[in-house]
A and B are shown apart, each in its own frame.
Chain A
Amino acid sequence: MEPSLAENSEEGCYVALTHEHLRAQDIMDRVRSPQAGAIVMFAGTTRDNFAGKPVKELQYSAYIPLALKTMLSICTDIRARHGLMSIAIIHRLGIVPIGEESILVAVSAPHRQAAWRAGEEALEDCKKHVEVWKREEFQGEEGIWRANRDGLPGQKIAEKDEEG
């Protein structure tokens, strides 16, 4: 069995993957700092449809050591570029019922502008690069592995698909 929590950290950066419920308060407390004037937190929740098709449930799996490595590298990069005090990202794995949190991103910064920008950038970088996969189960048909977006850097497109 996978461990229920896998985590990694370095100065001002914390990343984790867990099979447990995500708690917004916990991740906010991780980035709290007396030098910060703002904490921005994002919660991604599981949607009940894909392009109008009803989704019964979602299941996430990960290449845990590589996903943690990628998440930590995103955090150190964004923390440095936006002058953050601290940044934390946690992603849930396994079955996530509809409407629950699948990812939390929290950043703290001396001022709100940097915090807003860094939070958005961290989430977008995660969606592009972190080695976590979402399987959507539909009513009465086979589930599919979702791809966030084909054709981004680092994601090779099959030649036959390039024209389409």
Chain B
Amino acid sequence: MGVIPKPPQGQFNVLYFASANSFTSKDYDTLPAPLPIGKLFDELEKKHSGIKDKILSSCLVTVNLNYVDVPNGDSEDASSESSVVIHAGDEVAIIPPVSSG
């Protein structure tokens, strides 16, 4: 992956690695902030049809290098107060199952 440019004001980057990179044919997308973490997968599905089932269902998510819980977008708590909100300038990443070594 090359150098990712800083997102424009009011937006954030989502980085794609491994299978997520292959599926989207992109290193990253830029989305408007703020966004409750529970809405993230739905926003990505709008850009890349099928990504939720084929890729995201087996992935973890980090925000600024910390793992976060992603509540189910269909449930009531998707935008509840307890869950993380992605802010402008945050670096979000989709983390497929790892395979180092």
- Chain A interface (Cβ within 8 Å of chain B)? 1-2, 44, 60-63, 65-67, 69, 91, 102-103, 123, 126-135, 145-150, 154-159, 161
Contacts and interface: CB of A to CB of B under 8 A. Distances in A.
Contacts, number: 95
B95 interface: yes
Given A63-B15, A133-B17, A147-B96, A156 B60 contact: yes
Given A63-B93, A131-B17, A148-B97, 8 more contacts: A63-B17, A66-B62, A66-B95, A126-B101, A145-B99, A149-B97, A150-B58, A150-B97
For B2, B53, B98, which residue has the most chain A Cβ atoms within 10 angstroms? Answer: B98
A37 to B, nearest CB: 27
A103 to B, nearest CB: 5
B18 A61 contact: yes
Interface residues of B, number: 25
Nearest to A161: B58
B18 A130 contact: no
Contacts of B1: 2, 61, 63
Nearest to A67: B100
Contacts of A126: 100-101
Nearest to A134: B99
Contacts of B2: 1-2
A103 B101 CA distance: 6
